[in-house]
Each structure stands twice: as C-alpha cells, then as structure tokens.
Structure 1
Amino acid sequence: MSDLHDLSAHALMAAYRQRQLSPVEVTQAVLSHIARWEPHLQATYLLRPEAALAQARASEARWLRGAPLSALDGVPGTIKENIATEGDPTPLGTAALAPAPAAAADAPPAARMRAAGAVIVAKTTMPDYGMLSSGLSSLHPLTRNPWNLAKGPGGSSAGGGAAAAAGYGPLHIGTDIGGSLRLPAGWCGIFSLKPSLGRIPIDPPYTGRAAGPMTRSVADAAALMQLLSQPDARDSMSLPAQDIAWSQFDQGAERLRGLRIGLLLDAGCGLAPEPEVTAAVEHAARLMQTAGAIIETMPPFMTQAMLDGMDQFWRMRTHTDLQALPAGRRDKVLPYIRAWADSVAGISGVELFNASQQFHLTRVHTVRACSAYDYVISPVAPMPAFDAELPSPTNDPLHAMEHIGFTVPFNMSEQPAASINCGYTRSGLPIGLQIIGARFDDLGVLQLAHAFESIREPQRAWPRPPGA
C-alpha cells in the first residue's frame, strides 16, 4: 500500500468501509507528512493538529458504529483561507485586516465538508485579497512550489495547489475569479475544476467567482463535486438542485471519439505561450486526436482591450477597498498591490464605465467562439511556474494580468474549465492543459479530463520533502 498521506479519497473510502484503515491513523500520517513539508512550503493557515485529530476520532467512532455521515467521512482535506469557517478569522491573506473578526458561520463549501464528516486539517494560504497569482502575502510566510522550492505555486489558491501536490491529504478546496484554481493547478501538476458559475455555492458571491476542487486526480475531484454542488440561498447565483451523475466521470478514452475540439494556442492578449508550453499542449491535442477526437485550431477571440478593461476595473475595486482602510493598515498591504490599485486613482467615470463593459464583451466573445466546438483545450498559463519571490510573472504592477488571457474569459462566460497536467519542462516543472466545456457541462469536462488522464504518459512521482 502507498504511504497513507498519498492515498486517494477513493482508496480511503474503500479502506474505511472495509475497516482496513481508520481516520485517526490516516490523519496522523497526513499531519506527520505536513510537519516534514511545512517548514519548506508554508502552505497552511490555521494548522491545528489537535482539532484535526478530534474530528478524526469522531469519524472513527461513526465508522465503527456503521453510521458514517457520508462516503467522505474521515477523509482529510484543506480549505482556502477566504472560505469562511465558523469561529475562525478570515484575513484574506493580508496583514491589513489582522486581527480579522471571527466568521459567524461556515461558508457553503466548508459547511458541506463539515456535514460530510471530512477532516478539515487546515486552511491554506493566499496572497493579499487574492489579487496575485503567487504565494506572496503580507500576512503569511512565502508559499513555495513543492516541485521546485525556488518557484511559486501560483495563486491565488496558492496554499491549496502546493498542499495537493505535496500530499497534505487528498481533498482541497480553492476559489477562482480569473484563474486562481487553474493557475496553481497547472503550475503544481494537479487537477482542478472551476465549475460553472453557481454550481458550487460561495459566500460572498461575486461576478465570475467560483469555488472548486483541487486534487491529484479527476476521480477525487468528482467525489468533491458530488459533495459541494448543492444549492445554497446565500449565493444569489447558486444553481438549482440537479441530479448529476458525478460518479459517471469514468467514460474511458472512448469518450473522445468523434468530439470536435477547438485548440486555442493564441489567447489574443497578454503574454504569448513559451515554446515548451505550446509543445506540451500540442502533444496533448495529438493524443486526443489519436483517440478519435477531431482537433481544429481556433483563432483568438480575446483582445488586449478586454483584458486591460477587466484589470482596470479590478484595480479600482481594490483601490476603493484600500482607501477605506486607516492609513496604518493600508500601509501593510503589499507595495505591489498598492501600486497596482492606486494606478487608477485619477481615471474618469467614463473610463471606468468603459472598463466595466469589457466583462460583458469578454462573455459574449467567449461564448460565441466556443459554440462551434464540443470542447476547447488550451494552455492554462503562457509559462511554467515562476520565481517564488515575484508577485506576478511580469513583476510589473502596470502589467499584472498578462498571464491570465487563457483563463479569465471562462470566468466571465460562466463555463466549466479544468486544469490537468499534460507534461513537464526540461527542468521538471509541470505544464497545465485547460479543458473547457459549455456552460453547465461540468460532468462532461470531468469525463474529458479523465479520458485524457487515461491516455497521457505516466506521471512523474510526486515531490517529497527535502531529505525524505
């Protein structure tokens, strides 16, 4: 048997049912593994071993009585810092909000995990306000990438990506408003699904914002989708209850046969993909074609004006938030984010209105471009993981969003989009493939991702703690 911390959720569910393992011994193994990794990764916030073990003991008792709360009872997992958990502060990765008040209630994803009996081992780190694709934060120590500690894990679900790749248990939940699930998934070599908007309720809701699974496999993501995709009135965009057969994610490579798949290699804006990224995505397309898919190269549909407009609007939102803080607290925010946000201090109302319209234009162009295909594939990011100390790939607050041209359109179009590893650079860094489906076709995206998972080359061993 694999090391306990490496076991999938599906393997743990089977072992618990057959009383081959207990949640206590699994949680102890995960906590010991985290203790070896965490001085190097710094991926966790509110890591409380005794609280995790108390949850595990309660789960063990339920399994012994034959009364688990769900199939995932006792399976360890983590939750991103910005997903509220009752009684805990939610500082959003920034020292400017510390000490943050305790949350009055669990946000929907945390409530679903707790009701299912999953063991919440820790919360995971994020950068200030979730507005960076890196592990840099004014509140937390720098979060690093387990594949190469000199590199960052991506963000804003930084700790979740690092934790999943490092083996901090099988289940992790992050959020995404422009790529914050998929970017760390791609750079950490794991799987993630940004579901259709409203499929997993989130509180507070915001245009384009989605919660989603971060796991080592499609199978474990499907198990989390089964748990998390229940309506919640706190999310004004929550989708109605729907009986989705999440367990039918495994359709095999046959699922690819006859599908018309668009291959998007030019985002139309931002940074161009590096050659190793393009080569890996093209190789993935050839594998799908060999399995019977019809691959067609897509022309770009985004424009730089769309990307710049969304960026400008987000700058103003953050600028407004920062201006509401007392000066002493505002000064604690990362200088990069302050420079990014304050760059729009002098724009006019007309300029801000025009910027706001780019969200809708992006939505319209994205849906129109994708409607010609069953699915679309693309790079997740134009480059592999970048230096850990940098806030963004460009390290330039005036060009902070140049790496999200492939991911952000699908937040605005509300379409499900997944990241799955499709290769490695010469230096051994993972490369992410994005798989996009039509709105509401979350199960189809999981099925296509699992089909690719079954035909891609064998994956490299997961990274181990230094000295292990």
Structure 2
Amino acid sequence: MTERLADLTAVELVSRYQEGSLSPVEVLEDVLARVDSLEPRLCALYAPDPTAARAAARDSEYRWRTGEPAGPLDGVPVTVKENIATRGTPVPQGTAAADLTPATDDAPAAARLRASGAVIFSKTTMPEYGMLSSGVSTFHHLSRNPWDPARTPGGSSAGAGAAAAAGYGPIHLGTDIGGSIRLPAGWCGVVGLKPTHGRVAVGNPYPGRAIGPLARTAADAALALTVISGPDRRDYTSLPPLPDSTSHGNSDNPALDPQGLRIGLLLDAGLGLPVDPEVSAAVSAAATLLEKAGAIVEPIPPIITRAMLDGLDHFWRVRSAYDINAIPEGRRTKVLPEIRRWVSTATELTAFDVFHGYSQMHAMAVAVDAAFATYDFILSPVAPITAFPAELAYPTDDPLKPFEHIAFTVPYNMSTHPAATVNCGFSSTGLPIGLQIAAPRFNDLAALRLAAYVDSLVPDHRPWPA
C-alpha cells in the first residue's frame, strides 16, 4: 500500500525530516491532493493559499537540509481557524455582515506557528460569530463531518474538526468559549484541547475564550501546545511558558499511568439535553478501563445549575446584541436569522438580569473549582448527543434554547481549567463519541497524557474516513 503522507502525525513528520527520508515539499503536495479530493464535499477551508504554502515548504526543506530547522514544527502543514488573525487575510467571523478588511498582523498563536516553521496552508471555517456548535454560516459554505457528511462537524471550530478527521495535515488551531474546540473534536473523533485560560495568548482576551489544537493524536496536540503557548504583550491574561517546554507528547511525555489517580465521573450534567444511552455507555466503558488500570473512579453529582447556564445565556445574549447593533444597518440584515432571533430578546433583560448573568459565570467557576477538591481529573461526555444534522444551527433547532448541549463543556471555560477530548467509541450508526478529560488549572499536558492513555486502551479504533 502506498504511504499517504497526509496521514502521518506531526511527531512522525519531524522525525522523518530530521533523518532526511522525507521532504516538507512532498508532504504538502500530498495534503493539497487530499484537500482537492475531499474539500468540495466537506467545505472545511477558508482562504487556502497553496502558492505561499509551497514557498514556505521549500524554505523548510532548505532549512532541514542545512541542519537548521526553525523550530519543532518546521515543515509541518497546519491550518488556523478563521477568527485567529493571519496577516493579509480578512477575519469575517463566519458572517456575511462582516467588514472584510485584511488583518495587518498575525495573532500571537499564528505568529508562533510561523516562527516555528509550520506551513500554514489555509484557514478553516466557522459558524456565525462563533456562537453556534455547527458549521452554519452566512459567509462560508456549510462544513460537514467526514464520518457522515449529512452530519455537522460541530462548532464553532467546524472546519478545524473536519480538517483534522479528514487528514488535511496533522495540526489545526481552533478557539473555544463554551466548547468550540472540544465539541467538533468529539463529534469528529479527534483529540482537542481547551487549554488553561491564558496558556495560549489570544490577542483579544475576554471571559472564557481560549485557543488550542485539534489533532488526530494527543502527542501532536501536546507538540502544538508547546509551540503556541507563552506570554504575549497583546494579551494581559497570558501565562508564562509551559514548565517543560521541551516536552512534545512523544517519548518525553508518555501516556499517563492512571495507577492511584482519583477520577470523578460525571455522566449527568443535571440540565440540558438528556445524555444518549450510547454516549453514556461509551464514556462509562472508558472509565471502567481506567479503573481496571488502577485509577479510583467515583461518580459525582452535577456541577452546575440551570440558573448558572441561563445566567450565562443572558449575559452572552446582551453582549452579542451590543456587537451586532454596532454594525451598520445595511449589513446587519445579513446576520444569520437564528442569531438575530436570539439577540432580539436582549432588550427584554434588565440591568439586574445582565449583572446576575455575569455573576452566574463566576458561580460556575467556583462550582468547578470545588469539584476538583478531591480529584485529579474529571471525566464526562463531551456532548450529550452524537453529531446532529449539518443544516441545523442548533441541535435543539431553537434559537432561544441555544446552549442545551454545552453543560459538560462550558463550565471549564468559565473556571479556566484545561479540558481535553479523545474518542472513546462509536455509535451504532458509526458516529464518534468523545470523552472529556478535565484537569486542574495549568495541568494541560497531564490532560493530554491521560487522553493518550485512554486512546491506547479503547478497543474500537477505526480507519479514518476517506
């Protein structure tokens, strides 16, 4: 069988470049061929630039030949989500209402990828303002799930999830404010990490927002994290570099032995959509495997309340209404109708409602921190359901009930804890089921190491969709 270079991991690519058995130019061409084959159906990419990418790959090839790679990702093909600014490309945020002025500078994470020699060959799609867990957008074509194109890849890092599962290169950057990395990672069967808040500088920080990697392996996600993490003057919340910046998730950062770990198992969020029995069974089976390997696994009660989720909804509703009302009226009508319906109710909320909503985000953070008092990790489903139909903006198909599926993910945005996702099984219809692994603050690599261990235990590994 002919080796498909597009399917090699970043760790494998760097090793092959180092030994001289493979060239970044060869790899990029195979990735672009994969894109040409699948992209008309998946619609995962925005603003691809194969000409600039080929030039970057040639430069990388020269650096490897002379023994002077720029960094740990030199020559590795990567994508960056549309709302992570890259120099010279507009940032429409998934909406036709956007001003399409090109960005003047790379955002911190994109700049670090370039400095490391990574070949950014394209951006990836996102839904309207990143406020949907689907690929529905008035600007981009509808993104689809490689496992079943009738299903959503999830959102808001929709294109990133689809690109990772389809093998558009090994590393894809997404953003996450309520589950936007972990939901598409879970529904597309890949690894995703919402890092500790501030671990990766975002450039324009606000509560809950994080940037992190999606990849087919935890080792690749860890490698990407070590490259993009660290402080930046543009983000006052950004943290110092990772304590072990040389740990790339392979032999230096092996899968985490669960012997003696105390793990909380959250199977019922206590609110929102009911958990599909197949999802619950797959997550429970993964927890049982960890228990057999020596972990102490204990069921835990719901962490957040309905008042917390509704308060967050109220605050985000008013914030989004403020942003949309700032758009000139001629463009405002281009915003997705479901988003306009959601924000239209913002005027019904009082100042008291908005402040209370903000306070509930803090209450959510306190509740998560309390849940970690006696546990090293908390396991749960990523989402209560498998991927829903691609054309729906929300799994509820109701713009006034937009967050009924994020009760497992959004608490860790508000609390700033890292949370990773890894595939733990498949539904009877062949759709991936994601396991979420949340860890104490700053333990990002530990979450990925446990994800690697789970991946090594789970028996149902299927060929990637083609």
TM-score tier by shorter-chain length is over 0.9
Letter in 2 for 1:328: G
Q: Distance in 2 between matches of 1:425 and 1:133?
A: 20
Alignment of 1:76-155 (within 5 A): 76-98=77-99, 100-155=100-155
Shift of the alpha carbon at 1:243? 2.6
> Please, which of 388, 395, 398 is the counterpart of residue 397 of structure 2?
395
Letter in 2 for 1:219: A
Partner of residue 332, structure 1: 334
Conservation of the 8 A alpha-carbon contact between 2:87 and 2:102:
yes
Q: Deviations over 1:19-55 (max 9, x none)?
A: 1111111101100110101000000000121111111
Partner of residue 164, structure 1: 164
Q: Distance in 1 between matches of 2:17 and 2:170?
A: 15
Conservation of the 8 A alpha-carbon contact between 2:192 and 2:215:
yes
Conservation of the 8 A alpha-carbon contact between 2:186 and 2:435:
yes
Partner of residue 279, structure 1: 281
Partner of residue 175, structure 1: 175
> Please, which of 437, 440, 443 is the counterpart of residue 438 of structure 1?
440
> Please, which of 371, 374, 378 is the counterpart of residue 373 of structure 2?
371
Letter in 1 for 2:210: A
Name the SS of the counterpart of 1:95 in structure 2. Answer: coil
Shift of the alpha carbon at 1:441? 1.0
Percent identity between the two aligned chains: 54
Given the alignment of the two structures, is residue 207 of structure 1 paired with residue 207 of structure 2, yes or no? yes
Q: Deviations over 1:288-340 (max 9, x none)?
A: 01111111000112111110110111111111111111222111010001101
Shift of the alpha carbon at 1:346? 2.2
Partner of residue 346, structure 2: 344
Partner of residue 44, structure 1: 45
Given the alignment of the two structures, is residue 225 of structure 1 paired with residue 225 of structure 2, yes or no? yes
Conservation of the 8 A alpha-carbon contact between 1:371 and 1:438:
no
Conservation of the 8 A alpha-carbon contact between 1:225 and 1:246:
no
Partner of residue 359, structure 2: 357
Structure 2 vs 1, CA of residues 203 and 252 (structure 1 numbering), >3 Å: closer, same or farther? Answer: closer
Name the SS of the counterpart of 1:392 in structure 2. Answer: coil
Q: Distance in 2 between matches of 1:52 and 1:248?
A: 26
Partner of residue 422, structure 1: 424
Conservation of the 8 A alpha-carbon contact between 2:283 and 2:380:
yes
Conservation of the 8 A alpha-carbon contact between 2:314 and 2:349:
no
Given the alignment of the two structures, is residue 310 of structure 1 paired with residue 312 of structure 2, yes or no? yes
TM-score after normalising by structure 2: 0.97
Q: Distance in 2 between matches of 1:2 and 1:391?
A: 38
Name the SS of the counterpart of 1:112 in structure 2. Answer: helix
Shift of the alpha carbon at 1:434? 0.2
- Structure 1: unaligned runs, 5 residues or longer: none
Shift of the alpha carbon at 1:266? 1.1
Conservation of the 8 A alpha-carbon contact between 1:186 and 1:430:
yes
Alignment of 1:238-253 (within 5 A): 238-244=238-244, 246-247=247-248
Given the alignment of the two structures, is residue 188 of structure 1 paired with residue 193 of structure 2, yes or no? no
Q: Distance in 2 between matches of 1:253 and 1:338?
A: 45
Partner of residue 319, structure 1: 321
Name the SS of the counterpart of 2:450 in structure 1. Answer: helix
Given the alignment of the two structures, is residue 6 of structure 1 paired with residue 7 of structure 2, yes or no? yes
Letter in 2 for 1:208: G
Range 450-459 or range 387-396, more displaced? 450-459
Conservation of the 8 A alpha-carbon contact between 1:193 and 1:212:
yes
Name the SS of the counterpart of 2:97 in structure 1. Answer: helix
Partner of residue 59, structure 2: 58
Q: Deviations over 1:267-306 (max 9, x none)?
A: 1221121111000000011110111111100011211111
Shift of the alpha carbon at 1:253? 6.3
Shift of the alpha carbon at 1:247? 3.3
Q: Distance in 2 between matches of 1:405 and 1:176?
A: 14
Conservation of the 8 A alpha-carbon contact between 2:45 and 2:123:
yes
Shift of the alpha carbon at 1:350? 1.1
Range 194-203 or range 246-255, more displaced? 246-255
Conservation of the 8 A alpha-carbon contact between 1:192 and 1:215:
yes
Shift of the alpha carbon at 1:81? 0.3
Letter in 1 for 2:223: A
Conservation of the 8 A alpha-carbon contact between 2:226 and 2:242:
no
Conservation of the 8 A alpha-carbon contact between 1:226 and 1:246:
yes
Shift of the alpha carbon at 1:242? 4.0
- Structure 2: unaligned runs, 5 residues or longer: none
Instruction: Give the aligned length.
Output: 463
Name the SS of the counterpart of 2:193 in structure 1. Answer: strand
Partner of residue 458, structure 2: 456
Q: Distance in 2 between matches of 1:283 and 1:11?
A: 30
Structure 2 vs 1, CA of residues 329 and 254 (structure 1 numbering), >3 Å: closer, same or farther? Answer: closer
**What is the root-mean-square deviation of aligned Cα atoms in Å?**
1.2
Q: Deviations over 1:424-463 (max 9, x none)?
A: 0000000000001001111211121111121111410000
Q: Distance in 1 between matches of 2:457 and 2:391?
A: 35
Name the SS of the counterpart of 2:371 in structure 1. Answer: helix
Shift of the alpha carbon at 1:71? 2.7
Q: Deviations over 1:75-104 (max 9, x none)?
A: 001000000011111111111014x21112
Range 106-115 or range 322-331, more displaced? 322-331
Shift of the alpha carbon at 1:356? 1.3
Shift of the alpha carbon at 1:252? 5.6
Letter in 2 for 1:183: L
Name the SS of the counterpart of 2:122 in structure 1. Answer: strand
Name the SS of the counterpart of 1:295 in structure 2. Answer: strand
